[in-house]
Amino acid sequence: MLLGLPPELVLKVLGSQLAIKDVVNVAQTCTTLRALILSNKSCICNTYDRHTIQLPFGRALEELSSALIFARAARSLVSISACMSPQPLEIRGHFFYPFSSPKFTWNNADPPSDFFTHSNILAFRCQATIFVLDIGELGVINSVTHFPLDIDSEYLVEYQLADDKRMLRVAATAFRRQDKRSVLHVREICISSRGFGETIHVYRVDLPDQRPTSVSIRDPYVAVVVNGSICLVLDWRTNRGVSFELMLSNYRQLDMLKTLIFDPRTSSMIIVDSWKGDAQSPGIYMSPIPHDMPILNDDMPSDVTGWPSCEVELQEYPCAHTPSRGFFVGEILTVGFRLILDSEWVLEVIFRLDSSETGDESRTELVRVWFDEPNWAQHSETMVFCPRDL
């Protein structure tokens, strides 16, 4: 019936307060109607349940192209159907990788962790070794490369994929509890089909004898937070670096540093302070990356006070959605920077409130916040996690 009508009448019919599901179903009937719907955003914009579409950060529905609106509408429809189904979610597919093949060793006390995936590349830490796998069709392992870390240590691992997707950079700290010895490893590995596993750059430096609590990498910088209060920033390509402590204008020292990450858009760092057990709220701060860092000697002292140091200026993120009811007992989980529409980046963080904050021990409240430049616009949503529902 619709095929016999002129396009303007078809659009009028589709604009008569239908549901997203109705429009998507019509688009699947034939190529003619699909092309008409994909080229006219009003088909989706006029649906009565258009508010269920998950939009890119800071974008109104009318600002998107008709094709992108349809794609997000179809994706939202699938998500809603899955959430409303009484049946549990099903695994779409899985692969088993034999640990005997790449010479893995299994340890129940320290199973594989610190995973990174991109396309056909899988990287992870297996005890004191970093593995990088090239996985082919049907889960077949085409190639494996690996490199060791210091044994009998506690590890932190972070990855950075090069812009051309041909190199993987791995930063890892190893802290040995027995003698408080701490080491930083940085390795740049080729992950393209030609030259896979070739090591392009290797860097290793002894850190101050304190436990690292965070590591982050963005070429050519790597940042390590030790003991939750001292930051080390190093240029691993030139072997330069400094240490610094963070003080606010009221002379309060940030001593619950959760994360230090690099802003992919500017030469700045984002520092997250998770304040627990005090009326002082947590904070998110920005600081420029230190310049003119001195070269590090081969025999750097084990005491951080012997490292070159500098002062940094902090600018606090305005955060209207920071939980502030009474005493903040929880933490800030830093998801990191995410690339969204039009090559723009947003910073995503999650505030977690403990049961003592929500007043209900059976649930945990999460506040998810996105920050956008240049005016630090914010968008947030609250999620409630109830373990008893699992």
Q: What is d(CA 332, CA 353) in angstroms, rounded to the nearest whole number?
A: 9
DSSP symbols for 92-142: -------TTTTT----TTS-SEEEEEETTEEEEEETTEEEEEEE-GGG-EE
For residue 371, list its beta bridge partners: 347, 378
For residue 161, list its beta bridge partners: 168
Q: Are 345 and 335 in contact (CB under 8 A)?
A: no
Q: What is d(CA 163, CA 176) in angstroms, rounded to the nearest whole number?
A: 34
Beta strands 330-339 and 315-316: pairing type?
unpaired
Q: What is d(CA 210, CA 193) in angstroms, rounded to the nearest whole number?
A: 39
Q: What is d(CA 332, CA 257) in angstroms, rounded to the nearest whole number?
A: 10
Render each residue's pLDDT in the chain as its tens digit; 390 residues: 566 667 777 777 766 678 888 888 888 888 877 888 888 888 888 888 787 777 766 567 777 888 888 888 888 777 666 666 677 767 766 767 666 655 677 788 888 999 999 888 999 999 999 999 998 877 778 899 999 999 888 999 999 999 888 999 999 999 998 888 899 999 999 999 889 999 999 999 999 888 898 999 999 999 999 877 788 999 999 999 999 887 666 656 666 677 888 988 788 888 887 655 554 556 788 888 988 899 998 888 888 888 888 888 788 776 655 555 444 446 777 888 877 665 677 888 887 766 555 556 666 777 778 777 666 777 777 766 665 544
Nearest to 225 by CA among 213, 235, 216, 237: 213
Q: What is d(CA 294, CA 292) in angstroms, rounded to the nearest whole number?
A: 6
Q: Are 173 and 186 in contact (CB under 8 A)?
A: no
pTM (predicted TM-score): 0.74
Q: What is d(CA 366, CA 382) in angstroms, rounded to the nearest whole number?
A: 6
